[in-house]
Amino acid sequence: MFVVLAKHMTRPLSHSDLLLYYYGEANAEIAAYIKDNIYEHPEWTMYFQEIYQAMYDMDTLMISPNSTTLSIILEESDSKLFHSIG
């Protein structure tokens, strides 16, 4: 957790606050605080870069399975759906 407590804030900032800010979902007070103070906290920028890199890595890993493989899996799961075990 990032422990940053401004005079007008009622609680410290957390990684969750920065994540919400990154996706544009932080409340107005926290978003304004982060925006106004981001250059004073290089660790925030590093965290945003980590988020960006993780999202980029996940996007590049999104590979669809071969259609034949998918068909076999679906057929097998369907054929066993109504059969009892044992």
* The pLDDT of residue 46: 92
* The pLDDT of residue 48: 93
**pLDDT for 11-40, tens place per residue?**
678 888 888 899 899 899 899 999 998 998
Residue 49 and residue 52: Cα distance in Å, rounded? Answer: 5
Tell me the CA distances in angstroms from 14 to 5, 64, 84, 86, one per residue in order.
10, 35, 49, 51
Contact 16, 27 (CB under 8 A): no
